[in-house]
A = this chain, B = another copy of it.
Amino acid sequence: MKLSTKSEYACLALIDLAEHYAKGLIKSEDIARRKKLPKKFLDQILFTLKNSGYVKSKRGSAGGYRLAKTPSQITIAEILRLMDGALAPVYSVSTYFYEKTPIEQNKKMLKILKEIRDYVAEKLEKTTLADIVS
- A101 — which chain B residues lie within 8 A by C-beta? 5, 8
Report how far A118 CA is from B134 CA in the complex, Å. 23
Check A11–B109 contact: CB distance below 8 A.
Answer: yes
Asked whether A43 is an interface residue with its Cβ less than 8 Å from the other chain, the reply is no
Query: Is chain A's binding surface mostly helix, strand, loop or mixed?
Result: helix
Size category of the A interface is: 35 or more
Q: How far is the CB of A113 from chain B (nearest CB, A)?
A: 8
Query: How many copies altogether?
Result: 2
Asked whether A102 is an interface residue with its Cβ less than 8 Å from the other chain, the reply is yes
Known: A15-B109, A106-B132. 15 other contacts (CB 8 A): A1-B2, A1-B89, A1-B116, A2-B86, A2-B89, A3-B113, A12-B103, A12-B105, A36-B102, A36-B105, A76-B112, A107-B134, A108-B133, A116-B120, A120-B120
**Which chain A residues have a beta carbon within 8 Å of chain B's beta carbons?**
1-3, 5, 8-9, 11-12, 15, 35-37, 76, 86, 89-90, 101-103, 105-109, 112-113, 115-116, 119-120, 123-124, 127, 131-134
